[in-house]
Amino acid sequence: MNPLWQPRSACGPHCLPGPRETPTVSRLHQAGRLTALFGALLFGALLVPVLPVLPAAGRQAAGRWWARLVLGSLGVTLQVRGRLPRRRALLAANHISWLDIMATLAVAPARMLAKQEVRQWPLIGPLAASGGTIFVNRTRPRALPQTVAKVAEALRSDRVVAVFPEGTTWCGKPRAAGACPAGGRFRPAMFQAAIDAGAPVVPLTINYRTGPGRDGTTAAAFLGEDSLWVSLRRVLAVRGLSVTVTAAPALHPEQSASRRRLAQAAESAVRFAGPPTPHRHPTPLPTPTPLAPTSPSGLSLAA
C-alpha cells in the first residue's frame, strides 16, 4: 500500500501520559458514564430510520444534538472559538481521536468524510450512513477521484463537509524528544473538491484539556494500534476532559489555485491556533495570503 495514500503515525502506547499526569474518576463513575453512553447510542439508533425523512435543517439539528449528548455522557465539555459556517464550506481539521467527529458534529452541521470501516461499527455505522457520511475506501486508491467528486457535489449543494486531511490520528502534542509526533501533513486531495466547487475552506483546530494549564490531548488520542474499546476506556476514566474547537478565518481559493498550497495554508492555520491558553482568548489568526494559480487539474495517488 502506498504510504502517501494510507499514512501511519508513530504514535503508540509510549506516547501516553504517566498515571500522575492525568486525573481520573472512580470506577463507579466510569460505569455511570458507560451506561449513559449506551443510552445515547441507543437513542441514536432510533434516529437511523427517522433522519432520511427529515428536512435538511432537521437532520442537522438532530445530528448536532446527538453529538452533544454523546460528549456529555462521557463527561466531555465543549468550547467553541471563532465563527463556524452553516453552509457551503469544507472544514479541514487536525485529527487526534474518534472524539473529533463528535466535537465537529456538535458545532457544525457537517457531512463527514470517514474511512469505509466506520460503516461496519455497531450503531455508529448505520447512524453515520443515514446522516450523509461520505465513505472513502483507503484500500482502493483508484477510487480517490470519485470520492473527491462526491465531496465537491456536496459542496455545490450548499452543504458543509468536514475532513481530516492528515489521514489518520496523531498524538496532538510531542512527547519524548520527538518520539511522538504532534501531527502529520495535510494531504491535498480533498482540497481539490473545494477548488472545483468554488467553496471556502475553514481550518479547524481541535485541542483537549483535563484542567487549567493541563494538556489532555494525548489522553484523548486514538493511538497506533488502539482498539476503539481501549481508547473508550481511557476516555471514560479521565476527569475534567474538555475539547476546544477553534475556527480560523476562511480561505477562499480561486478556481485555478493549487490544492497543495491550499492544504499547506490550512495546515499552517491549524497549527498556528495551537492549544488555547487558560483564561485568555487565543491570538487572532492572520489573514491568509492569496493562493497562487499553479495547480494541475489531475489527481495523483500522492494527493
Q: Residues of the chain with pLDDT > 70: what percent?
A: 78
Q: Confirm if 154 and 111 have CB atoms less than 8 A apart.
A: yes
Give the other-Cβ count within 10 Å of 230's Cβ: 12
Residue holding cell 458534529?
A: 105
Domains detected in the chain: 25-273 (3.40.1130)
Per residue in 143-202, pLDDT (tens digit) is: 889 999 999 999 999 999 999 998 777 666 655 545 666 667 898 999 999 999 999 999
pLDDT on residue 168: 73
pLDDT on residue 30: 96
- 5/238: higher pLDDT: 238
DSSP class of residue 84 equals: P
pLDDT on residue 170: 63
Paired sense of beta strands 242-247 and 201-211, if any: antiparallel
Paired sense of beta strands 160-163 and 77-81, if any: unpaired
- Using the Cα atoms of residue 102, residue 108, residue 109 and residue 112 in order, give the sign of their dihedral: negative
Say what the pTM is.
0.82
Q: Confirm if 95 and 166 have CB atoms less than 8 A apart.
A: yes
Considering only 8-12, 140-144, 213-217, 259-263, which range has the smallest mean pLDDT? 8-12
**Residue 269: pLDDT band with limits 50, 70, 90:** very high
pLDDT on residue 298: 34
- 79/216: higher pLDDT: 79
Element (H, E) at 161: strand 160-163
152-168 b/e (C-beta count within 10 Å ≥ 16 → b): bebbeeebbbbbbbbbb
